[in-house]
Amino acid sequence: MTKPLHVALVQHSNSADLAHNFAKTQDGIRKAAAKGAQLVVLQELHRSLYFCQTEDTDLFDLAETIPGPSTDTLGALAKELQIVIVASLFEKRATGLYHNTAVVIESDGTIAGKYRKMHIPDDPGFYEKFYFTPGDLGFEPIHTSVGKLGVLVCWDQWFPEAARLMAMAGAEMLIYPTAIGWDTRDDLDEQTRQCDAWVISQRAHAVANGIPVISCNRVGHESDPSNSSEGILFWGNSFIAGPQGEILAHAGAKDDEILSVELDMQRSEDIRRIWPYLRDRRIDHYQDLLKIYRD
């Protein structure tokens, strides 16, 4: 893929009102398309609040099938606007079996493919292992009319192995729907270090693989229903980076924003010719990567 590609992402805050959230998402998609976007990326679990702050079996009611109501609505919108959409849903695969799933909607309204989040965190405020079964679809790019999309989800973004496997399978860009934020009790210096590390890690994936990265996070404070913490202040800072990790567009930490930029897809070809990391990989000496740790 060497033609320029106009991409966009939709960063916004969420509330307990699912209909309001989904309307906001759809409005953002329309505005992105009006700017010329051919590919629009949404944030992680964009329909609801980030419900994983607590463990509550009633919250499984938020899950839906794929195909289902959200993919039907987004499919109609994608077809109307002639764009590709990367959405993020709480998937009900079967009773008692749920995934954190990114689904790609083709410009004709059909489902091009999906990716089930592979790395599942379990930390204070991020109790995802209670809700999500680890993905079983592997690290396979999704083929679309705008290219081969290496779609991953949030916690996956900290693992270079996931990015590399997507690139090795032919992904032409890496896409990360995300929900990450600060503990408000952390001081400003610590908050800055955390956000910087998040951006640096993903920019490094762009550099190491010679392909663009699109990372879409949410914003706003979401309280902890259990009142055991002060909730999460989602830090926004969504961004789009080129194949050398260069920042092409960067959102702020507080406001709803739509980032839109034209990617020069030829640059990936050019960059990989002068920085041929795939050529120089020493796979004959990487066996220990299959171990958890070298004792």
Q: Is 195 a known active-site residue?
A: no
Q: Is 211 helix (H, G, I), strand (E, B) or coil?
A: coil
Pairing of the two strands 247-250 and 239-241? antiparallel
Token pair listed for 273: 């010719």
C-alpha distances in Å from residue 62, one per residue of 70, 99, 241: 12, 12, 32
Amino acid 249 reads A
Q: Is 200 helix (H, G, I), strand (E, B) or coil?
A: helix
Report how far residue 111's alpha carbon sits from residue 71's, in angstroms, rounded to the nearest whole number.
8
Pick the catalytic residue from 106, 117, 172, 257. 117
Report how far residue 123's alpha carbon sits from residue 33's, in angstroms, rounded to the nearest whole number.
37
Pick the catalytic residue from 154, 172, 195, 257. 154
Which letter does DSSP use for residue 217 in this model?
-
Report how far residue 245's alpha carbon sits from residue 149's, in angstroms, rounded to the nearest whole number.
17
DSSP string, 152-174: --GGGGG-HHHHHHHHHTT-SEE
Strand intervals (E) in the chain: 5-11, 39-42, 84-94, 97-105, 111-116, 122-123, 126-127, 142-144, 147-151, 173-177, 181-183, 213-216, 219-222, 232-235, 239-241, 247-250, 257-263
Q: Is 31 a known active-site residue?
A: no
Q: Is 52 a known active-site residue?
A: no
Q: Which residues are catalytic?
A: 44, 117, 154
